[in-house]
Amino acid sequence: MAINTIRILTRLRFRQFFRQKNKGLVGKIIIVVYFWLLELLLFFMLRKEGITDFPPLLVAGICLGFIVPDFLLKLIFEHDQTVMDAFIRTRPISQSSWDRFLSVSQFWKASNLSMPLILAPACLLFMPFRWGLVTLLVLYLFSVFGGFLVMLFKHKGNYPLEKQVSAKAGRSFRQGSGHHVFGIQSRSFLRSKRLKTSVFVLTGVFFFQFISQGFAEIGRFDSVFLTFTILYAAIGLSQWGLSIEANFFCGIWTKPIPVHRLLEDKFLFSAFLGGVTALVAIPFCYWFKIPLYAPLAYALFNAGVGILLIMIDAYKCMPFDLFGKTFFNYQGSSSTFKGSAFLALFVVMIIPIVLPHILPEWAALLILAVIGLAGCVLYRPYFRWVERQFLKNRYHYMEKYLSK
Amino acid sequence: MITLSNLSKQYNGVSALNIPELTLEEGELVGLVGNNGAGKTTMMRLMLDLIQANSGFVTIDGKRVDQDDAWKSFTGSFLDSTFLIDFYTPEEYFGFIGEVYGIPQAEIQLRLQHFETLMSGEILGTGKLLHNFSNGNRQKIGIIGAMLIRPRILILDEPFNYLDPSSQIVVARLIQEMNRDLGTTVLVSSHNLNSISDICGRILLLEKGNLMMDKSHVPGSMDQELEAYFLDAVK
């Protein structure tokens, strides 16, 4: 009986996975292929340098070392998978069958397969075949075990409706508190655990790296982690485009709210987040003897180039389910990967990292600040242009918003 | 005045709506009835420029809704939950509407008193986000949000859904009052023939996207013709 239930649930899960328009899957495939290409590139570059012998134990150790970030990523980003959604709860499925299904499903869960998949070329190219195969198998088993642990760790068992989020300030009528559309940005950010976690955690990780590196090499200016710290807070939010507004776009469209206002406010709020991280970074820059204008230059570049570029097609999105938690409800969570945002992100992060290496430090930072400032000055006409692109094909995009 | 001219909408080649000509006069309270899939929501979405017509157009005050945004400043509407901002509290949501339409917050508070019976103490001051309200209360919040601006045109899709009998009566009364006291042109759809018969002065019947009936009606009376139509449909 239990095996039959597990079989039915597995079939249901797979059908759902493959039959819904799964842009998230496309995104994951792109990321895996991207890492495969990097590994191949590294392999051939090393061969060209005459390095052909790679100590298998060392390579295996490095590959297995990825178990830790794999586990941490799952711990940070995964939600309680043990929650039955309304459909499952109302079927004759016993708790024990459900628990078994959840345990078994760890073996084919995408997040448990992704790290072994990403590292497959490295294992097979840099090690003898048997070593590589065994390393991959161990990596896979550890990843499955990690997934299982995360499932247990995140288990709360509450059906989402039972857990109500309250607004602390919502008891009294808030008069003229400047809601308008800016409030949409700040409140959606602060009240959605999913959104907040994704932005805060990665910003925190980059900040930690920046500080660790700063302590280790006082006086030496390396732009990588400072750039990531300042850029990610803003870009992590703006990369979603209008995914949040897509949830209630009918309510927006039927009111006298121009789309460019939504975009402008998202830009301002994202730039504000970048500005806050830059301000937090300033005392550390002083401590690490990094020029104090560096974080400011990055914050300006972040706002005037990074966010604008990321939001160039902000309207091409699916609704982002701010409160999504249940196992079978993947809508709006994994289906919002945008290739253009990924590309823009790549460009935006590369420029401020590379520029200080090819130009004198002051000149690089000056250039970043000036082009950033120019972007900041031009953001209004820019978003009016983006709005016009949206309006040209608005029904197509609005239909997608309605498809949640 | 709202006009629909040669309006048609198809989904995957299947006709969802086909209305050659229809006019809703200023100050009318019009009920829209029809079985599931009749095209009621599609018609309302086209009127609110939420979807693209395959042919034809909708005008409000002689201006096409897909070409001129003027209608947005005097039209209140609530079709479904995609009109609600889930991460707002009711107070914030109503405050947001006030700001968008340039209504002072004090005035919004004053206007909300008019809806106290409908809210029955369950909506304001709870500190809950809209996401966490029951379907019935979300429906009430959406309806109040549409009415709060005292619109010249009010479009409501199935406003009686999810509501308890008392709330249905209150909503029907509020719609009628708005139409009578402010001269608001109202288009309201429902599966509930009684609710529509009770308040509407004109009833439109849609069936598979076609307008089958367009008749004047005396509010409060039962419409035998309409009942007979639906009874025949199940025979």
Q: What is the pLDDT of residues B67-82, one digit of tens each?
A: 999 999 999 999 999 9
Chain A: residue nearest B101 by CA?
A: A256
CA distance B90 to B96: 10
Percent over 70 (pLDDT), chain A: 86
**With bands split at pLDDT 50, 70 and 90, how would you rate the model's confidence at B86?**
very high
Interface mutation target, options A253, A254, A393, chain B, most CBs of B under 10 Å: A254
Among candidates B171, B233, B235, which has minimal Cα distance to B198?
Answer: B171
Q: How many CB atoms lie within 10 A of CB A281?
A: 26
Q: A149 near A141, Cβ under 8 Å?
A: no
Residues of B in contact with A398 (CB under 8 A): 50-51
Interface residue ranges in chain A relative to chain B, Cβ cutoff 8 Å: 161, 164-168, 170-177, 179-180, 183-184, 187-188, 191-192, 247-251, 253-257, 322-323, 395, 398-399, 401-402, 404
Residue A1 has pLDDT above 70, yes or no: no
Longest dimension (CA), chain B: 55
Question: Distance, in angstroms, between B83 CA and closest chain A CA?
Answer: 4
Please indicate whether, in this complex, the C-beta atoms of A173 and B124 are within 8 angstroms of each other: yes
* Token pair 């200080």 in the structure block, residue: A356
Lowest-confidence segment of A74-78, A245-249, B132-136, B154-158 by average pLDDT: A74-78
> Given B80, B82, B127, which is nearest A170 (Cβ)?
B127
Sign (positive or negative) of CA dihedral B57, B61, B67, B70:
negative
Task: Pick B127's closest partner by Cβ from A161, A167, A402.
Answer: A167
Please check the confidence at residue A267 and state whether its pLDDT lies above 60.
yes
Between B73, B86, B92, which is nearest A322 by CB?
B86
pLDDT-derived band at B24, boundaries 50, 70, 90: very high
User: What are the chain A neighbours of B82 within 8 Å (beta carbons)?
Assistant: 247-251, 401-402, 404
What pLDDT, on a 0 to 100 scale, did the predictor assign at position A42? Answer: 83
Question: What would the pLDDT profile of A110-142 be if each residue is shown by its tens digit?
Answer: 889 988 999 999 888 888 888 889 999 999 999
- pLDDT band for B194, please (50, 70, 90 cuts): confident
Enumerate the H helices of B183-223 as residue ranges. 193-199
B97-124: average pLDDT: 93
> What pLDDT digit, counting tens, does each position of A323-381 carry?
765 444 443 444 455 667 777 777 777 888 788 888 888 899 999 999 999 999 999 99
> What single-letter DSSP state applies at residue B219?
T
B179 contacts B24 by C-beta, under 8 angstroms: no
| Residue of B84, B150, B144, B146 whose CA lies nearest to B120 | B144
Q: What is the pLDDT of residue A338?
A: 66
* Contact call for B86 and A250, based on CB within 8 A: no
Kindly state the DSSP code that residue B123 receives in the 8-state scheme: S
- Kindly indicate the confidence band of residue A221, based on its pLDDT and cuts at 50, 70 and 90: low
Q: Which residue has the higher pLDDT, B131 or A1?
A: B131
Query: For B154, phi and psi rounded to 5 degrees?
Result: -125, 125
Residue A162 has pLDDT above 60, yes or no: no
C-alpha dihedral sign at B42, B48, B54, B59 = positive
Give the tokens for residue A108.
Answer: 């084919």
- Rank A169-173, A192-196, A221-225, B90-94 by mean pLDDT and report only the highest: B90-94
Tracing tokens 């009918």 back to the chain, one arrives at A250
Q: Which two tokens stand for residue A259?
A: 């789309």
Cβ–Cβ under 8 Å, residues B80 and B40: no
Most A CBs within 10 Å: which of B49, B87, B119, as the mutation test of the A interface?
Answer: B87
Strand partners, B206: B211
Cβ-Cβ contacts under 8 Å for A393 (sequence gap 6 or more) = none
Q: Return the number of other C-beta atoms located less than 10 Å from residue A347's C-beta.
A: 12
What's the whole-number mean pLDDT along residues B196-202? 94
What pLDDT, on the 0 to 100 scale, is given for residue A97? 84
Contacts with B95 from chain A: Cβ below 8 Å: 173-177, 179
Strand-pairing partners, residue B3, are B23, B59
Is residue A82 within 8 A of residue A131, CB to CB? The reply is no
Helices (H) and strands (E) in chain B, counts: 8, 10
Higher local confidence (pLDDT), B54 or B231:
B54
Label the pairing between strands B55-60 and B2-11: antiparallel
- pLDDT score recorded for residue A79: 72
Which residues does chain B have within 8 Å of residue A180's beta carbon, measured at their own beta carbons? 96, 99-100
Encoded amino acid at A212, one letter? S
Collapsing DSSP to helix, strand or coil, A355 comes out as helix
* Reported ipTM exceeds the 0.85 cut: yes
Q: What residues are paired with B188 via a beta bridge?
A: B31, B156
Describe the strand order of the beta sheet including B14-24 as a list of residue ranges.
B63-64, B55-60, B2-11, B14-24, B210-216, B202-207, B29-33, B185-189, B153-157, B75-78
- Can you give the pLDDT at residue B208? 92
* pLDDT tens-place string over residues B141-181: 999 999 999 999 999 999 999 999 999 999 999 999 999 99
For the cut 60, the answer to whether the pLDDT of residue A157 exceeds it is no
Q: From the CB of residue A16, how many other CB atoms can be counted at a distance below 10 Å?
A: 13
Instruction: Give me the mean pLDDT over the B87-110 stretch.
Output: 93
Query: pLDDT tens, A191-218?
Result: 887 788 878 888 888 888 888 887 777 6
Q: Give the type of residue at A94.
A: S
Q: Residue A351: which of A306, A311, A287, A397 has the closest Cα?
A: A306
B153-157 and B185-189 beta bridge pairing: parallel
| Res A329: pLDDT | 42
